[in-house]
Amino acid sequence: MRGHRGRSSTARAVMGLVAGVVSVAALFVCPAAALAQEETEAVPADSLPPLGPPTAVTATDTPNDRGYSINVTWELSDGEETGRVTSYRVYRSAHPETGFVFAGRAWPGNAEYRDGGAPENAPTYYRVSATDETGAESFSATSEPAVALPAWFNRDRVNVMIAVIIFVAAIIYFVTAARRGKDLFIRRLAGLDEVDNAVGRATEMGKPILYISGLSTVSDVATIAAINILGEVAKKTAEYNTRLIVPCADPIVMAVEQEVVKEAYAKVGRPESYNEDDVFYLTRSQFAYVAGVNGIMVRQRPATILYMGMFYAESLVLAETGASVGSIQIAGTDAVTQLPFFITSCDYTLIGEELYAASAYLSREPVLLGGLKGQDTLKMLIAITIIITTVVATLASVGVIQYDFMTPFLETQ
Amino acid sequence: MTLTFIWTTVGALLTLCVYSFLYKDNPFYKFAEHLVVGVSAGYYLVIYYFNFIDPNVVRPVFQLELGGEAVAFGGTEWWMALIPGLLGLLLYTRFFPKIAWVGRWPLGIYVGGYAGLGISPVMQARVIDQMQAASSPLAGVPDPFAAATNAALGFAIFVVLTYFLLVKRHIVARGIAMSIGAVVLSAVAGYGGYVVLSALSAQGVVSMTNILLVVGLLGTLAYFFFSMRHAGLLGGLARIGIIFLMVGFGASFGYTVMSRISLLIGRVSFLLTDWLHLI
C-alpha cells in the first residue's frame, strides 16, 4: 500500500513537472508564434506609402526673450494616425530654397519647437520633416521668414518689476527718513555684540584676528556683505591697534578688501597701522585655500576668527581647526548647507539674512539702517501676500470660490 | 615600476602628509600645504588666462580664430573687447601710489554692475517663485506626505506631552508608577493624534504638510525681522521659526556628514586599493 502510494506520488510529481515545463514553454512559444504570425502578416516598411509632410509651418520671433530664438509651429503629419511618425526634424536656413541645416527635433504629437540657435536680426526660413522608423523624411514647404530680435521689455516678469519697485521705494523712503534723523530700531544680534569683545580679547592677548570672507566672488551677495562687515571690523582693529589678517581666495575680492581695510584705518586716523601684506591672495583652489588658512591658524594662533561670506565644503574643516587652537569664532553665512557646521563649531553664528543686517548693525549708518528697514518692509509684504494667497488657494480647493485668482500674479517665466 | 605607480605613490604620500595634521602641525604637513597652495595658485593663473583673458580679450582684439571660427565678441564689434580689457588693466594702477585711486573705478563698475544685475533674478528666483511655491491650499487636496507628516506629528505630541507631564508637572518626582502612567498617557495621546490626523488627511479635510509649510515659513520670516522687537505675536512666531530652522539644520547636518564620510571612504579606498592593492 505504502509502495503503491509512493509510486503514485512519484508519477504525479513527474506529470506535474512535465506539465509545468510545457506551460512555461507555452508562455514563451505562444507569444513568439503570435509575433511571428504578426511579422508575416505585417506590411514591409519599404512598401508603405511615404508619410504625409507636416503642413502650415510658421515661424515667429519668440516674445519676451533676449534674441536668438524663434518659435516654429506646424500641423501634424497624417502619419500620426497610424503611429508611424518617430519624430519631427526642424531645419533652418538664411535662404528659402537652399542651405537648410538641422536645428532640432520634436517628438511625435508635438507641433512646436523653440529654436534657441537662430541668428539675431536676420531673416530665417524653416522646414519641418516628419520622420518614420526607416529614417525617411517627408519635408514640409518652407515657412515665411522670421527675425529673432531681443525684447526690450519682458512682459512675463511684470510682477518681478513691481516687487523691485516696491522694494527700492521702501529702501529710498527709509534711507531718507534715517538721514533726516529718524531713529530706526534694530533688535539685538548676539553674535555681533561679541565682535567688540572679540577684538578686545585679541588686543589683551596680543594675538591677531583672522578674517575669512569665504570662497565666492564679488558677484555673490554674501561676499558683498562680508566686505561691508570687514570695514567695520577693520575700524575696531585699527582703534585697538590689533593685527588683522585677511587671506583671500579671489583676486578681485582681495583688491576690494585691501581698499576697504585701508580706508577703515584711514577713517579712524591710523593709516600708518595698515599693512597691505596682511590682506593677501592665497589661492583659488578650495582645499588648497583650506590648507593654507589652517596653517595660518595653527602658527599664528589668532585670538578671534571671523568667518563671513559664502562657504562650501571647507566650512567644517576651517571651524574645527579654529576651535582646536582656542580661538573665539564668529561665523555668518547664507549657505544653508554649511550653517549647521558653523552652529556646532563656532561660538556665535549669524544665520542667513543676519549676515546682511550685520554691517548696518555694526556701523549704525543711516543709509544701511534704512536699507535694513526697507528689507523688513518687503518681508512684511511677502508674509501678507503668502497669507492671502494661501487663504484663496484653500477656498478654491474646498470649492468655496470657483478658481484661485491669486496664483497667476506670482507666475514668472 | 611603472610611471603610474610612481605618481600614485606621490599622491598617497601627500595624502598621508595632509592627514598627519590630525596629530599636530609638522614639517610634512607644511610641505604638502605649501606645495598645494603654490601649485594651485600657478594652475589658476593659467586657467584665468586661457578661460577669460584669451577668449574675451586677446582673440577678439587680434581677430584670431577659436575652434575654427573667427571670434565675434558677443556678435558686436571687436573693439568692444577693449573696454573690459582696459578696466582690468586699470586694476594694476594700485602699484603706483600717485594714481592708485584710478583702480577704484573698475572695482566700482564690477561690484555695482553685479549688484544691479543681480536684483531682478534674485527677486524672481528667491522671492516671487518661492512665494508661489509656498502658496499651497491647506485643505481639500490629497497630501502626498501625509503618512510621514502625521507620524512625525504624533511622535511630537508624545514627546512634548511626556516632557510636560514628567518635568513641568513634576510627575517624575511622584514615583515610578505615576511616571509610567504619564508616559503611557502621552503615548496614547500621540497615537490618537496620529489616527485623527490620518483620517482627516485621507478625507482631504486638512493637509498637514501644507499647514506645516506655511506655519514654518511665516515663523522663519518673523525670525528675520530685525527692525521690530521680538515680543508678543512676533516673538511667538519667531520662536516657532527658529525651531523649524534648527530642525532643518539638524537634517542638513546629518545628510552632509554622511557625504563627508563617503569622501573619507574614497580616500582610504585610494590608499588601500590604488596604492597598496590590498583590496
* DSSP 8-state class, residue A157: G
User: What residue numbers bound the domain in which A324 lies?
Assistant: 170-370
Phi and psi at B105, nearest 5°, equal: -60, -55
The amino acid at residue A54 is P
How far apart CA B91 and CA B105 sit, in angstroms, is 8
Q: Does A346 or A47 have the greater pLDDT score?
A: A346
How far apart CA B84 and CA B90 sit, in angstroms, is 10
Specify whether the CB–CB gap between A341 and A365 falls below 8 A. no
pLDDT at A38 over 60: no
Task: Tell me the percentage of chain A whose pLDDT exceeds 90.
Answer: 61
Of B25, B139, B226, the CB nearest to A187: B226
ipTM over the 0.85 cut-off: no
pLDDT at B52 over 90: no
Q: Specify the pLDDT at position B57.
A: 84
Do the domain assignments include residue A261? yes
Which residues in chain A (192-231) have CB-CB distances under 8 A to chain B? 218-219, 221, 224
Closest to A278 in 3D by CA, of A234, A321, A235: A234
Same domain assignment for residues A195 and A321 = yes
Q: Specify the pLDDT at position A24.
A: 47
The alpha carbon of B146 is separated from its chain's Cα centroid by a whole number of angstroms, namely: 27
B250 touches chain A (CB under 8 A): yes
Closest to A315 in 3D by CA, of A411, A219, A410, A213: A213
Contacts of A393 in chain B (CB under 8 A): 135-137
The alpha carbon of B73 is separated from its chain's Cα centroid by a whole number of angstroms, namely: 35
Cell numbers placing B208:
498637514
Look up cell 561690484; give the residue. B111
Closest to A323 in 3D by CA, of A346, A291, A303: A346
Q: Specify the pLDDT at position A45.
A: 53
Q: Specify the pLDDT at position B117.
A: 85
The structural domain count of chain A equals: 2
Of A375, A382, A397, the CB nearest to B139: A397
Which residues in chain A (282-341) have CB-CB distances under 8 A to chain B? 282-285, 287-289, 291-292, 294-295, 298-299, 313, 316, 336-337, 339-341
Specify whether the CB–CB gap between A122 and A68 falls below 8 A. no
How far apart CA A262 and CA B212 sit, in angstroms, is 48
**Element spanning A244, H or E:** strand A244-248
Range with lowest mean pLDDT among A24-38, A242-256, B68-82, B87-101: A24-38
Q: Specify the pLDDT at position A36.
A: 43
Q: Specify the pLDDT at position A303.
A: 95
pLDDT at A241 over 50: yes
Complete DSSP assignment for B21-60: GGT---HHHHHHHHHHHHHHHHHHHHHHIIIIIIIIIIHH
Contacts of A354 in chain B (CB under 8 A): 224, 226
The amino acid at residue B56 is N
Q: Specify the pLDDT at position A47.
A: 66
Which residues in chain A (12-41) have CB-CB distances under 8 A to chain B? none
Do the domain assignments include residue A295? yes
Same domain assignment for residues A277 and A315 = yes
**Element spanning A90, H or E:** strand A87-93
Helix (H, G, I), strand (E, B) or coil at A124: strand
Contacts of A171 in chain B (CB under 8 A): none
Same domain assignment for residues A97 and A199 = no
Specify whether the CB–CB gap between A378 and A166 falls below 8 A. yes
A149 touches chain B (CB under 8 A): no
Contacts of B267 in chain A (CB under 8 A): none
The alpha carbon of A138 is separated from its chain's Cα centroid by a whole number of angstroms, namely: 41
Do the domain assignments include residue A35? no
pLDDT at B151 over 60: yes
Instruction: Please state whether A56 falls in left (phi above 0), alpha (psi between -120 and 50) or beta.
Output: left
pLDDT at A19 over 80: no
Domain extent listing, chain B: 3-131, 139-206, 215-279
CA distances from A379 to A130, A353, A354, A384 (A): 52, 11, 14, 9
The amino acid at residue A262 is K
Q: Specify the pLDDT at position A258.
A: 93
Q: Specify the pLDDT at position B4.
A: 87
Contacts of B209 in chain A (CB under 8 A): none
Q: What is the mean pLDDT of residues A374-391?
A: 93
Same domain assignment for residues A237 and A96 = no
Q: Specify the pLDDT at position A210.
A: 97
Q: Specify the pLDDT at position A29.
A: 44
Instruction: Please state whether B75 falls in left (phi above 0), alpha (psi between -120 and 50) or beta.
Output: left
How far apart CA A389 and CA A404 sit, in angstroms, is 8
Closest to A124 in 3D by CA, of A53, A62, A52, A56: A62
Do the domain assignments include residue A153? no
B135 touches chain A (CB under 8 A): yes
The amino acid at residue A63 is P
B228-255, pLDDT tens digit by residue?
Answer: 889 999 999 999 999 999 999 999 898 8
Look up cell 526697507; give the residue. A374
How far apart CA A67 and CA A79 sit, in angstroms, is 34
B53 touches chain A (CB under 8 A): no
How far apart CA B193 and CA B159 sit, in angstroms, is 12
Q: Exposed, middle or buried: residue B225 (CB in 10 Å: 0-12, 13-18, 19+)?
A: buried
Decide which of A147, A179, A205 is a domain's last residue. Answer: A147
Contact B120 A120 (CB under 8 A): no
Closest to B261 in 3D by CA, of A143, A313, A117: A313
Same domain assignment for residues A337 and A188 = yes
CA distances from B146 to A50, A181, A338, B104, B139 (A): 53, 53, 29, 56, 12
Same domain assignment for residues A143 and A177 = no
The alpha carbon of A145 is separated from its chain's Cα centroid by a whole number of angstroms, namely: 36
Same domain assignment for residues A228 and A82 = no
Confidence of residue A133 (pLDDT cuts 50, 70, 90): confident
A264-299, pLDDT tens digit by residue?
Answer: 999 999 999 999 899 999 999 999 999 999 999 999
Contacts of A412 in chain B (CB under 8 A): 124, 128-129, 132
Specify whether the CB–CB gap between B125 and B184 falls below 8 A. no
Contact B118 A219 (CB under 8 A): yes
Complete DSSP assignment for B73-108: GGGS-GGGGHHHHHHHHHGGGGGSGGGGGGGHHHHH
How far apart CA A152 and CA A187 sit, in angstroms, is 42
Do the domain assignments include residue A383? no
**Element spanning A281, H or E:** strand A279-281
Tell me how close the Cα of A244 comes to any Cα of chain B, in angstroms: 21
CA distances from A347 to A213, A289, A350 (A): 17, 23, 10
Contacts of A281 in chain B (CB under 8 A): 41
Chain A residue at shortest CA distance from B242: A351
Chain B residue at shortest CA distance from A221: B115
A316-333, pLDDT tens digit by residue?
Answer: 999 999 999 999 999 999
Q: What is the mean pLDDT of residues A92-113?
A: 93
Same domain assignment for residues A138 and A191 = no
Contact B41 A283 (CB under 8 A): yes
Closest to A117 in 3D by CA, of A126, A99, A104, A105: A104
Look up cell 530654397; give the residue. A97
Q: Specify the pLDDT at position A32.
A: 45
Q: Specify the pLDDT at position B1.
A: 61
Same domain assignment for residues A229 and A275 = yes
**Element spanning A378, H or E:** helix A366-398
Same domain assignment for residues A251 and A360 = yes
B277 touches chain A (CB under 8 A): no
Contacts of A400 in chain B (CB under 8 A): none
Contact A412 B124 (CB under 8 A): yes
Indicate the average pLDDT of chain A. 86
pLDDT at A231 over 80: yes
What is the gyration radius of the CA atoms in chain B, in angstroms? 31
Same domain assignment for residues A84 and A131 = yes
Task: Tell me the percentage of chain B whose pLDDT exceeds 90.
Answer: 44
pLDDT at B163 over 70: yes
Helix (H, G, I), strand (E, B) or coil at A210: strand
Handedness of CA B57, B63, B65, B70 (dihedral sign): positive
Same domain assignment for residues A197 and A127 = no
